[in-house]
Structures are given as structure tokens and as C-alpha cells.
């Protein structure tokens, strides 16, 4: 798909929904929050899968402020999910949400999942925002728990997005890509590597979708109108991943 335009959000006549999905590690909002919000707004997402949301003092206020600056709403997650957070536009009708804490390995950071089931147009889908472990064995176990959680949501379609902390050739990434579509690999759009913004050489952030979803394009929005290199470098220590997905009606 190269540098062609990414499809806009819309509901088709058959009830299917074209949904714009953004995954973004925001490093606890320790960088330029205004630059971050400008990037998010320019991507015009319906759903934002955030990692490293603020965890401590007034964390709900920080999440709400980011949502307001991005012209979105807080869906679920944050400190109560150990960092993953979901934001959404007014297109999303929320059916249910759940924050899941994953088993903790002594000496390592606690990890969790922000999950939700939403309807957009005639489409019903499950959402999971994740930030997987830096430790390989724990990370692999977490991918299994994540996939089990998605199945337990009993939804016709699902989207998983987040900071995988591993390149596509790694066994945890490959485990996810075996059961789900790695959207960037299915239909590349924009840039590939997500870490670091000043010298991106690794793709460790990704959007995955269940097989029934059509991938219209996925990648780092480096040339998207309104997204500047200055803002991308100032916003946080990761680059975002933007995808356009067509989700069938149910």
C-alpha cells in the first residue's frame, strides 16, 4: 500500500465498519504531552491502544487529560491494568470492559491487559491493549494468556495491539501472528520500525486482528498529514502504529 492514503472511518451500507486503530506506548506521559496529542488527533483513530499509561499519583486525571487533548474518551484501563489503557471515539458503543492483571514473576514488573467489547456500526469486536514482559519466558507465557483471554471474550472479531517487546522473528511475536493477523505484514503502509523515534530500527509494537477482519493498511504514520517528525520525536520513546481495518457486521 506504500504511501497511499489510509481509508477513513466509515460504516458501509452492509453494516460493516472501517475502523482506524492506533497503538502507542506513551512512556507514562513523561515527554511532550501536547506533541503526543497532536499525533493522536492527526491519526483520527476510533480506538487507541495505549501502553505505559501513568500508574501513580492522580493517574485517572492524567488519562482523562490525554483523552480530552486527543478528542477521545477513556474506555478502560490505566494503573488498574498495570499500564495498558484503551481510548475511543464516540463511534464506539461500549458493551463491557475488564481490566486483567497477569501473573507476576518475582522481581519483574507487573503486567496487565485492558480489555473491552464494543460495537461500531454493525460490527461487534473485542479489544485488548497489552504491554508484554521484557523477559522472554514470561513474555511467551503472557502471549498464551492473552490469546486465551481473547477467546474467552466470545466475540466474532477481535483486535489486539500493543508493545510486544520483541521483533517479528521472536517466538512470542510469532505465536501471536500464528493465531492472529499481523496487520503490518498483511498490508504494509507507512513506516515499519517503531523503536526508537530518533533511530527506528526495530518493530516491537504491532496491531493484530482475528482472521475475519480485512486489513486495509498498517504501519507507522510517518507521512500522514498533520504528523511531523518533530512531534514524533518529542511525544514519547516509541513510534505509533496506525491501522485501518474493515470489520464485518454481525
Q: What is residue 3's predicted lDDT score, i.e. its pLDDT?
A: 58
Domain spans of the chain, in order of start: 10-247
Using DSSP, state whether 41 is helix, strand or coil: helix
Q: What is residue 154's predicted lDDT score, i.e. its pLDDT?
A: 96
E strand intervals along 9-111? 10-11, 17-25, 47-51, 73-77, 85-88, 93-101
Q: What is residue 177's predicted lDDT score, i.e. its pLDDT?
A: 98
pLDDT in tens, 55-80: 998 999 999 999 999 999 999 999 99
Q: Could you tell me the pTM of the whole model?
A: 0.97
Q: DSSP letter for 56, please.
A: S
Give the mean model confidence (pLDDT) for residues 228-233.
98
pLDDT in tens, 87-138: 999 999 999 999 999 999 898 999 999 999 999 999 999 999 999 999 999 9
Residue 234 in this model has a pLDDT that exceeds 80 = yes
Residue 2 in this model has a pLDDT that exceeds 80 = no
Q: What is the CATH number of domain 10-247?
A: 3.60.10.10
Within 10 Å of residue 60's Cβ, how many Cβ atoms? 13
* Alpha-helical regions (H) of the chain: 33-43, 59-69, 136-152, 171-179, 183-186, 229-235
Q: What is residue 4's predicted lDDT score, i.e. its pLDDT?
A: 79
Give the mean model confidence (pLDDT) for residues 169-194.
98
Cα–Cα distance, 93 to 33 (Å, whole number)? 27
Amino acid at each position: 500500500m506504500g504511501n497511499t492514503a489510509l481509508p477513513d472511518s466509515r460504516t458501509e451500507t452492509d453494516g460493516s465498519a472501517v475502523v482506524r486503530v492506533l497503538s502507542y506506548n506513551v512512556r507514562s506521559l513523561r515527554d511532550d504531552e501536547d506533541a503526543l496529542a497532536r499525533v493522536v488527533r492527526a491519526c483520527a483513530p476510533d480506538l487507541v491502544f495505549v501502553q505505559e499509561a501513568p500508574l501513580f499519583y492522580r493517574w485517572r486525571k492524567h488519562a482523562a487529560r490525554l483523552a480530552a487533548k486527543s478528542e477521545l474518551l477513556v474506555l478502560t484501563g490505566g494503573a488498574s491494568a498495570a499500564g495498558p489503557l484503551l481510548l475511543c471515539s464516540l463511534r464506539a458503543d461500549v458493551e463491557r470492559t475488564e481490566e486483567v492483571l497477569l501473573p507476576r514473576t518475582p522481581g519483574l514488573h507487573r503486567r496487565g491487559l485492558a480489555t473491552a467489547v464494543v460495537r461500531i456500526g454493525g460490527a461487534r469486536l473485542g479489544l485488548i491493549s497489552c504491554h508484554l514482559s521484557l523477559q522472554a519466558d514470561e513474555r511467551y507465557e503472557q502471549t498464551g494468556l492473552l490469546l486465551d483471554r481473547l477467546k474467552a471474550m466470545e466475540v466474532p472479531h477481535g483486535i489486539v495491539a500493543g508493545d510486544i517487546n520483541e521483533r517479528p522473528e521472536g517466538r512470542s511475536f510469532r505465536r501471536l501472528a500464528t493465531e492472529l493477523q499481523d496487520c503490518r505484514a498483511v498490508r504494509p503502509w507507512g513506516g515499519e520500525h517503531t523503536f526508537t523515534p530518533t533511530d527506528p530500527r526495530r518493530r516491537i509494537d504491532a496491531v493484530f486482528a482475528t482472521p475475519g477482519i480485512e486489513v486495509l493498511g498498517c504501519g507507522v504514520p510517518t507521512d500522514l498529514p498533520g504528523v511531523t517528525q518533530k512531534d514524533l520525536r518529542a511525544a514519547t520513546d516509541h513510534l505509533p502504529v496506525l491501522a485501518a481495518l474493515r470489520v464485518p457486521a454481525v
